[in-house]
Structure 1
Amino acid sequence: MNTMSLEIAALAKGYAEGSLTPDAVLDAVYARINERGERPVWIHVLSRAEAGRQLEAAQARKAAGADLPLFGIPFAVKDNIDVAGVPTTAGCPDFAYTPDRSATVVQRLLDAGAILIGKTNLDQFATGLVGTRTPYGIPSSVFDERYVSGGSSSGSGVAVGAGLVSFALGTDTAGSGRVPAAFNNVVGLKPTKGLVSASGVVPACRTQDVVSIFAGTAGDALAVLKVMGTFDPADPYSRKAPAAATEPAAWPLGFRFGVPRDGLEFFGDEAAARLYAAAADRLEALGGTRVPVDFTSFRDAAQLLYSGPWVAERLAAIRDFAKASPEAIHPVVRGIVLGAEAIGAVDAFAGMYRLAELIRRGEAEWARMDVLLLPTTGTTYSIEELLADPVRLNSNLGYYTNFVNLMDLSAIAVPAGFRPGNGPKGGLPFGVTLVGPTFADGALAVLADRLHRAQALPIGATRHMPQGPALDADSAAPGTVRLAVVGAHLSGQPLNHQLTGRGARLVRTARTGSGYRLFALAGTTPAKPGLVRDAAGAGGIELEIWELTEAAFGSFVAEVPPPMAIGTLTLEDGTSVKGFLCEPAALAGAEDITGFGGWRRWLTR
């Protein structure tokens, strides 16, 4: 069982086929933890019997007909997130308390059938990106014990990278859900602020905190987010997100990804620079268009998180404890948090004004791109280096991460290869982050999955390759209809506004199956093609699939003039979709253009 993959998709498939049982999976999980030892990854591990009782309760609910999307999936949570009856330490033994109820996110996961294994180590009070600021032992990268694991969600990143659990929760204020993902070769999904409840989470910077997800694949991470990402009235910072926020969304050919035209910093790590360049090339090969952008506003916003008034929020979170027991706080954390006593109300307002200016400047760059591609970190450091220079090197690790929550953006960190084994830091993983607008979480996950799979990388330090299906936008969201268009309604064509004006979104490009022919119709304004069924037709006609609400689809169909009609098309992958067809009577004088493979290619002949 120690060779078993804990990928959520793989476990779910094994359960469905009967080749795996949740009890056997739990046995394997506890065997791996015992072999590795609890410290320094874990602060508290539930007993095998406690995990078994969770499973029994989930099995009873499943037998009663409950929908349990994460049934039998083992997970961990960072120890600044409450679990009923288990101490919450936030990495500080003297701060510990035992909550009566679990954090909202934990309870939702348990309700979905997931099995909690334990609570993981962290940089104390979630202050750090390194994993060295803890009295419970220093977790290291799963690839080299000399190097840091990343923090503050250090234990969670290592637990997934080492194959101890299927997924783990972290928190991410400044990059703590992304840096450990990069250093342990896993995916780190940082949701949009407010998408996931922070009720029952010890705050770091309450206005900027986000509960994050570590998983082996973007598909697994998104599956967890769908369970967690609902509005929570108990959290005053929870937000009612659009339904599409956690749904997969397609990226059209030519999507624009931003890369800094200057300001890239790798701190002397040439291998990291080459891996970032390769990731940009790979994103172009996946259909993206590279757009140089001005990184200045993002970089300047990043500097505000620790040099501006948001440091005072860290003091606000633990002020009474810090005043009563300053000696109980890790020296580096104490220096950062208590240093906020010099920040006044005027400084706070000045910082907010400055951030607003930078967000407005950043909007000009977002108008030129759909997604921003960045290194997750410019480099990595050994534990010895971090202990010798804890503040400056920590700041270097936040160069590409600190601005994201301040500017209310979504992000997902994804593996991007390994440094050569014979060079400095040889064999250590590198990662990139895709940054998107507010509530672009589902769309980012799709692109991250494509980028991840294009490299054929294993999950963490395991030998397991992703086994689940690629994350895609193949099924329509509830209350919507997919429509295939082949001519004047294609993006950039004269009638496309009839779709976009109804709020339709482009899902993907595709091709028809065999049995179709395409004709350029005579005397139409604007010029239109006609797609007809013909058993002798070769098919392979390029089309676009758009998604509309049912109401918008109905109003659109009502405006379709003859000789056009809406029927059901068969695609080359065997699936079906509603789409445009043409009445055969309209083919008088029409030109057969099937051989061009699509309307656009005929227009540019």
Structure 2
Amino acid sequence: MAFTGFTLNDWRRYHQQQPQELFATLSSLLAELSLEDNAWLYLATPSQLRAQTEPLLAAWQKDPQSLPLFGVPFAVKDNIDVAGWPTTAACPAFAHEAATDAVAVARLKAAGAVVIGKTNLDQFATGLVGTRSPYGAVKNSFNADYVSGGSSSGSASVTARGLVCFALGTDTAGSGRVPAGFNNIVGLKPTKGWLSATGVLPACRLNDTLSVFALTVEDAFQVATCAGGYDASDAYSRDNPALAPAALPAAPRLAVPSHPTFFDDAQAEAAWEKALAALQACGATLHPVDFAPFHQLAEQLYSGPWVAERTAAVGEILHHPEQMDATVYGIIASGQHYSAVDAYQAEYLRAELSRQIQQTLAQFDALVVPTSPTIHTLEEMRQEPVRYNSQFGTYTNFTNLADLSALALPGPFREDGLPAGITLIAPAWHDRALATFGQRWQQSLALDLGATGKACAAPSALPASPHHVRVAVVGAHLTGMPLNHQLTRRNAVLVEETRTADAYRLYALANTQPPKPGLAKATGGKAITVELWDIPLARFGEFVAEIPAPLGIGTLTLEDGRQVKGFICEPAALADARDITEFGGWRNWLARKEASHV
């Protein structure tokens, strides 16, 4: 295929050169896809494709910047509605035509993306294997004898093979991460409530989220940013509280399971050891933690009353077991055996274990785990469909129960040539922070993208964050200085050291403790060294409130023309201050001052 392995940047460059060919280009792409490939359950008709592309072209001609995903083809897991298309959840008896787009799909279309097809899944999104579908098991994209992972099997497969740029999945127990790990791609499991569930058939409504598969971290995060946002029609949608850091530190402290289990899979264990060494090479320090609370919470999702959420989700079709996959029916029907008392007790236990997990994670920047402790062949899965499925969820099942964000990443391969991914996990709304480290990780490993054989290019910048304020600091708040803690204790993260435009003068203020400089815009000024920090928006007001007169926060211009918030000084305080502009920065002044006393 001519477009195999195209990333967002590839599609942008291609369409910018010939936007008028949008319909023809995507028609050509569709012509190379086939429903004989059972990763697909439905492909767009020519009229459905034209109905999407014609208004896009007109909008792009008016304002190209309004369509960040212009013409990018994507796939949708078939438990997510696309208007006028069938939704089956891999159960033919359940099939119906969707009246409207799921909110996330509508938002992606509004950003310019084009739905190409809908993908296979474990029936009713019940499974981590990709084999529980009447349309057939989706095969692993590296070795057809092995499972693809599920339940978002088709979405992972078509992304890994580069047939689409990205695909939507869902993730309750790990369905957006296990298939990513088994197919060498990125699986972003967002914080619950970031992406609307309106128009998505629930599996466990309290513990579901849409997920995004992509070849690169930046593509996955860009897509989630376009698809996400508060939706009043979804009772479980949430606003981002803007409290989380914008990035992980350059040398993050990562928790790891103290005694990880691999179910006697020596190759998976060896790949994990390689991943740990690679993490350390990326600057991370690793800290073993007791994983018992995580394991105990993971077991609750299928071995207790939480399974009754699935029973509630499927409704009347449960009365027709002959129309359901036998394994799926057995799992979902078991929810009928639990009482309301059982459900409340399960919720109390979930809350207690979640608190323990949150307290553990608060000591670190993130947790890193194997995405799956092992992998199995299709034949092995036929023999042990429940036990092996349960193994796959060892490091995923607890995540939504504990309200955590997660990012599945490609990792060092096994010796048998199969992928073996890792997953970063952190508290809710740390999605962006995980993505920043994920970019560094993917670049450092330099693995081919998915199963495409295409090399990983240098990462693009993540979209600008509306949940953080970039602040330039010039004196006592610099790294290692006495007031730097006012930033770090509010989850501010160092971005870079740079300089202002050559339009400022720097002064050593009189009678300040600790000693502080004042920065003032002036004719005949010079460039002054500053540090840029990203501080969570919700903590910015607290930070500003601690700034004493004569200092304040204004807008500074940097030498490259960017404008950021930064420290300024009241002119009246400069009368008895010493002009130290010639030193070019506060550190230089302090160093010269100290040297003069030697």
Same fold (TM over 0.5): yes
Is 1:489 aligned to residue 477 of structure 2? Answer: yes
Change (3 A) 1:353 1:390: same
Distance 1:56 1:520 in 2: 61
Letter of the 1:167 partner, please give it: F
Contact 1:504–1:547 (CA under 8 A) maintained in structure 2:
yes
Matches within 5 A, 1:15-54: 15-18=15-18, 21-34=21-34, 38-54=36-52
Contact 1:133–1:333 (CA under 8 A) maintained in structure 2:
yes
Contact 1:44–1:120 (CA under 8 A) maintained in structure 2:
yes
Distance 2:84 2:303 in 1: 37
1:510 corresponds to: 497
Letter of the 1:210 partner, please give it: T
Distance 2:505 2:289 in 1: 43
Is 1:380 aligned to residue 375 of structure 2? Answer: yes
2:524 corresponds to: none
Q: Which moved more, 1:301-310 or 1:514-523?
A: 514-523
Contact 1:124–1:133 (CA under 8 A) maintained in structure 2:
yes
Change (3 A) 1:376 1:547: same
Distance 1:81 1:476 in 2: 27
Change (3 A) 1:595 1:530: closer
Contact 1:280–1:373 (CA under 8 A) maintained in structure 2:
no
Of 548, 562, 576, 1:559 maps to 548
1:308 corresponds to: 304
Of 249, 254, 264, 1:252 maps to 249
Letter of the 1:510 partner, please give it: E
Change (3 A) 1:549 1:164: closer
Please give the secondary structure, in 2, of the residue aligned with 1:413: strand
Please give the secondary structure, in 1, of the residue aligned with 2:420: strand
Please give the secondary structure, in 2, of the residue aligned with 1:279: helix
Letter of the 2:429 partner, please give it: F
Change (3 A) 1:208 1:552: closer
Contact 1:14–1:21 (CA under 8 A) maintained in structure 2:
no
Distance 2:377 2:528 in 1: 54
Distance 1:557 1:300 in 2: 43
Matches within 5 A, 1:521-560: 525-526=513-514, 543-547=531-535, 552=541, 555=544, 559=548
1:536 corresponds to: none
Is 1:428 aligned to residue 418 of structure 2? Answer: yes
Distance 2:268 2:88 in 1: 35
Distance 1:344 1:598 in 2: 71
Distance 2:123 2:29 in 1: 26
TM-score scaled to structure 1, two decimals?
A: 0.85
Please give the secondary structure, in 1, of the residue aligned with 2:207: coil
Distance 1:91 1:372 in 2: 34
Matches within 5 A, 1:418-497: 418-420=413-415, 426-467=416-457, 469-472=459-462, 475=464, 477=466, 481-490=469-478, 493-496=481-484
Is 1:160 aligned to residue 159 of structure 2? Answer: yes
Contact 1:519–1:593 (CA under 8 A) maintained in structure 2:
no
Post-superposition CA distance 1:449-478 (Å, at most 9, x none): 2211111122211122344743357x5638
Q: Structure 1 residue 309: deviation in Å? A: 0.5
Is 1:402 aligned to residue 397 of structure 2? Answer: yes
Letter of the 2:224 partner, please give it: L
1:413 corresponds to: 408
Distance 1:340 1:489 in 2: 56
Q: Structure 1 residue 176: deviation in Å? A: 0.3
Please give the secondary structure, in 2, of the residue aligned with 1:419: coil
Distance 2:309 2:553 in 1: 60
Distance 1:449 1:598 in 2: 36
Change (3 A) 1:409 1:20: farther
TM-score scaled to structure 2, two decimals?
A: 0.86
Q: CA RMSD in A?
A: 3.9
Contact 2:70–2:111 (CA under 8 A) maintained in structure 1:
yes
2:96 corresponds to: 97
Of 279, 294, 317, 2:275 maps to 279
Post-superposition CA distance 1:142-167 (Å, at most 9, x none): 11111110000000000100111111
Distance 1:119 1:546 in 2: 39
1:176 corresponds to: 175
Q: How many residues align?
A: 586
Q: Which runs of 5+ in 1 are unaligned?
A: 421-425, 534-538
Change (3 A) 1:102 1:481: closer
1:237 corresponds to: 236
Contact 1:487–1:599 (CA under 8 A) maintained in structure 2:
no
Post-superposition CA distance 1:389-425 (Å, at most 9, x none): 11111000000000001111111111112223xxxxx
Q: Structure 1 residue 292: deviation in Å? A: 2.2
Contact 1:486–1:598 (CA under 8 A) maintained in structure 2:
no
Post-superposition CA distance 1:256-303 (Å, at most 9, x none): 2111122x0122233322332333333333333322222111111000
Post-superposition CA distance 1:26-74 (Å, at most 9, x none): 144224314xx54311111112442133111222333454822222111
Change (3 A) 1:481 1:100: closer
Please give the secondary structure, in 1, of the residue aligned with 2:145: strand
Matches within 5 A, 1:109-188: 109-188=108-187
Of 327, 330, 336, 2:322 maps to 327
Distance 1:207 1:333 in 2: 19
Please give the secondary structure, in 1, of the residue aligned with 2:275: helix
1:362 corresponds to: 357
1:261 corresponds to: 258
Distance 1:387 1:201 in 2: 29
Change (3 A) 1:468 1:584: farther
Q: Structure 1 residue 235: deviation in Å? A: 1.8
Please give the secondary structure, in 2, of the residue aligned with 1:356: helix
Post-superposition CA distance 1:165-188 (Å, at most 9, x none): 111111110000001111111111
Contact 1:446–1:471 (CA under 8 A) maintained in structure 2:
no
Letter of the 2:497 partner, please give it: A
Change (3 A) 1:529 1:472: farther
Please give the secondary structure, in 2, of the residue aligned with 1:381: coil
Distance 1:244 1:357 in 2: 23
Distance 1:540 1:271 in 2: 53
Contact 1:404–1:410 (CA under 8 A) maintained in structure 2:
yes
Of 287, 293, 297, 2:293 maps to 297
Distance 1:334 1:554 in 2: 54
Q: Structure 1 residue 92: deviation in Å? A: 1.1
Change (3 A) 1:321 1:191: same
Distance 1:592 1:295 in 2: 52
Distance 2:568 2:242 in 1: 31
Letter of the 2:460 partner, please give it: A
Contact 2:192–2:209 (CA under 8 A) maintained in structure 1:
yes
Q: Structure 1 residue 500: deviation in Å? A: 6.3
Change (3 A) 1:283 1:62: same
Contact 1:68–1:113 (CA under 8 A) maintained in structure 2:
yes
Q: Structure 1 residue 22: deviation in Å? A: 2.7
Distance 2:236 2:266 in 1: 41
Q: Structure 1 residue 102: deviation in Å? A: 2.1
